Amino acid sequence: MTVFSRTYNGEAPQRLDQFLSEVYADASRSRLLQYIKDARVTVNGAAVTKGGYWLSAGDVVELALPAERPSKLIPEERTLDILHEDENTLILNKPAGVVVHPSFGHDSGTIVHAVLAHCKDLGSFGGEIRPGVVHRLDRDTSGILILAKNEKALNFLQAQFKSREIEKRYLALVDGRPPTPTGRIEAPIGRDPKRRQMMAILPADKGRAAVTEYFTKAEYKRHTLIDARLLTGRTHQLRVHFAFLKCPIVADALYGYRKQSIPLDRHFLHAYRVAVTLPGRSEPSAFEAPLPPELQSVLDGLEPAQPATYG
């Protein structure tokens, strides 16, 4: 157990929770309130369990932190394609074929293992197996991935995802054509009751709301390049939604055609743009990741469609 001691020297009384938030700026308010509730905070030697306790000048505040459990994750040196880094945030261009955090069957070689080697002081906030993970990308989806470097930044960024303030855009090559060149898909998604490794479109009372907007960027003889915008962030959302439209993502072994139209070792889905307000800033910043070479080469080899596709 580690004990931190601070003396309140303000002229006017101040609430205990506000004082702790100022002193321990990297900790979330909810975490500090839990410490207070757990009687880990004392004022002049006496335990205080209410965040609204008023401090006076000269009060000595002590915070006893529980002993940290050593992480079972072992940092692994790996080259990271870093798009942006500051004291709060790390934004990466994730390659296909790499899992974001440890899971069953993936206890090494993940992005988290590499980030732990890059950020030596990354804590265990966000969970022991996924420290700093703000959101996830599927293993075979490439593109922009956001990670937080402290708990306060994690909460700040995750709140934007929850309130749908973050703009997330993907490039997807699909088989065939969607019903219209632009559109909005509103179809609830949940775990497939028959195939538990898959997600599926479900009735509204059984699935979670899922909304995708899409725009046609280019048309080819047998395929369409789509710019898709996620308005929600359900597991496998784009893969399920485009399969629902009968134009699955190319080389998607789970939701696509059994016989693939283009031989690829990954599906053609890339998170190419994110607009997010970073901790400490008031306006959104936009980040873009170029299409990986293996996907660009697929586009370069496709035959363009004839002019009149929709009619």
pLDDT at 70: 46
Are 172 and 311 in a shared domain? yes
191 and 279 together in one domain:
yes
Confidence of residue 24 (pLDDT cuts 50, 70, 90): confident
Contact 277, 164 (CB under 8 A): no
CATH number at residue 15: 3.10.290.10
Same domain, yes or no, for 38 and 125? Answer: no
Q: Where are the alpha helices (DSSP H) in the chain?
A: 16-23, 29-37, 111-118, 151-162, 237-244, 293-300
Question: Given a cut of 90, is residue 121 above it in pLDDT?
Answer: no
Final residue before a domain boundary, out of 108, 129, 163: 163
pLDDT band at 65 (very low <50, low <70, confident <90, very high): confident
Do residue 72 and residue 61 come from a single domain?
A: no
Q: What's the token pair of residue 206?
A: 């059984």
State yes or no: pLDDT of 311 exceeds 50. Answer: no
Shared-domain flag, residues 216 and 76: no
Shared domain check, 293 and 172: yes
Q: Does the pLDDT value for residue 125 go beyond 80? A: no
pLDDT one-digit tens code per residue, 245-267 = 999 999 999 999 989 999 999 99
Q: Which two tokens stand for residue 75?
A: 């940092």
Enzyme catalytic residues: 138
Sign of CA dihedral 95, 99, 101, 106: negative
- Per residue in 79-116, pLDDT tens? 999 999 999 999 999 999 999 988 755 778 999 999 99
Range of the structural domain that residue 155 is part of: 68-163
Q: Which has the minimum average pLDDT: 160-174, 199-213, 295-309?
A: 295-309
C-alpha span between 134 and 154 (Å, rounded): 6
Quick one: 125 and 181 in the same domain? no
Same domain? 222 vs 281 = yes
Residues 11 and 141 in one domain: no
pLDDT band at 159 (very low <50, low <70, confident <90, very high): very high
Q: pTM to 2 decimals?
A: 0.76
The CATH number linked to 270 is 3.30.2350.10
Among 65, 87, 117, which residue terminates a domain? 65
Q: Which of 40, 65, 90 is the last residue of a domain?
A: 65
Number of domains in the chain: 3
**What is residue 28's predicted lDDT score, i.e. its pLDDT?**
65
Residue 156 and residue 171 in one domain: no
Among the ranges 25-34, 78-87, 191-200, 301-310, which has the highest mean pLDDT value?
78-87
User: Could you tell me if 181 and 290 lie in one domain?
Assistant: yes
Question: Does residue 46 sit in the same domain as residue 113?
Answer: no
Looking at residue 144, its pLDDT comes to 98
CA angle (99, 234, 78) in 5-degree steps:
15
Residue 6, pLDDT above cutoff 90: no
Report pLDDT for 192. Answer: 87
